[in-house]
Structure 1
């Protein structure tokens, strides 16, 4: 990577100025969520500063922000490392996401107008228009699918009327994404029909059947959890599951 400007600055027409710290934070976040940086991996400040052509202070601040998001851990003795994964954490994240996102979806169905319903249908159509994985490499997501998948799930809950609820939901989505990316790296998601799972959620949502929609959403998340557990058995080996 040549410089932070080339890596993160976007096109010259990009009118959204971002500090070097924010740029480093965004790149590290992306690398953690995509599992290019693996759980437990040590993050060397000096090495990252050289890689991104920024100051030690910019890297340290970016890592501190990611600590606040739960994606990085800090220790006085060991420095920074990517937050580890565990079976207990996976179950906790999944169940909490079912609770929070299920509530947000239920409220959205109760409060959402026709414009929101149209946005849900549009986001689902857009998601279905791209492949989930690269044709020649099923262990890596097609990046545009990842973007549209994130938009789809966020659109489902956008009408809930609570920024706090959406904020908690977004944090849990990021934590879940790390686990899901670990599963796809081991090529287990081919055993499911993700599009059919999404379609069931959309069908119930458009019909304003909150119970059915939340049930389909919960089933979708729990299926992901079970596949992650299967795919990451080696990663979890020796980790306390209590």
Structure 2
């Protein structure tokens, strides 16, 4: 079997997050292979891997599709993420040492210095910011010492990130003070205030749900589907 390298998997993942393929859209391996300069076999392997991450769904005898927009699922995923990270961060604050504090501060510095949207593509969330954003949130949990819990949080982050990226073109960049939210999260972690940190993370994640609901994305997709 020809295996898809990380480069192709990452390119397709980035394209889905950027909205190159819309929610529920069928993914055509041959056309994607031409676009990415590789073989359809490699693309199919990459799509199979992304299906395992929840970004792509497979349907028997029909092929691969981008996962569909499901607001109830988004709310459920967000609640599960909040509960998971409340426990993980509580353990991290108990077990994290000064090295972890330094690495967390560095991860926040990287995030704070990376623009959320670039002047060249202001309608979409910048890929470098996405990486820095996830790195900061995972570093918060790292010191908990429970890899399965961190893996669950990482998968949930990818799923909810998909919704936020889909909504980005419909949302003004200054709709939220995201930078201030991250700064407050860092300060609560460094102060070892588990209760405050859990409260801030919940508020941070639930704000994303509100952004999706208020973005007009749902209405836009409905209009597109009616027209097709």
Is the contact between residue 171 and residue 211 of structure 2 (CA under 8 Å) also seen in structure 1?
A: no
Q: CA deviation at 1:201?
A: 0.9
- By percentage of residues, which structure has more helix? 2
Q: CA deviation at 1:177?
A: 0.9
Cα distance in 1 between the residues matched to 2:218 and 2:123: 17
Residue aligning to 1:27: 11
Is the contact between residue 138 and residue 187 of structure 1 (CA under 8 Å) also seen in structure 2?
A: no
Cα distance in 1 between the residues matched to 2:181 and 2:63: 41
Q: How does 1:1-242 map to 2 (within 5 A)?
A: 19-135=3-119, 137-231=121-215, 232-235=217-220, 237=222
Cα distance in 1 between the residues matched to 2:122 and 2:171: 6
Q: CA deviation at 1:121?
A: 1.5
5+ residue gaps, structure 2, are none
More displaced 10-residue stretch of structure 1: 105-114 or 69-78: 69-78
Q: CA deviation at 1:78?
A: 2.1
CA deviation profile, 1:151-190 (whole Å, cap 9, x unmatched): 1111111101011011111111111111111222112452
CA deviation profile, 1:124-144 (whole Å, cap 9, x unmatched): 122212322224654222333
Cα distance in 1 between the residues matched to 2:141 and 2:99: 13
SS of match in other structure, 1:133: coil
RMSD across aligned positions (CA): 2.2
Instruction: Number of aligned residue pairs: give it.
Output: 222
5+ residue gaps, structure 1, are 1-17
Residue aligning to 1:4: none
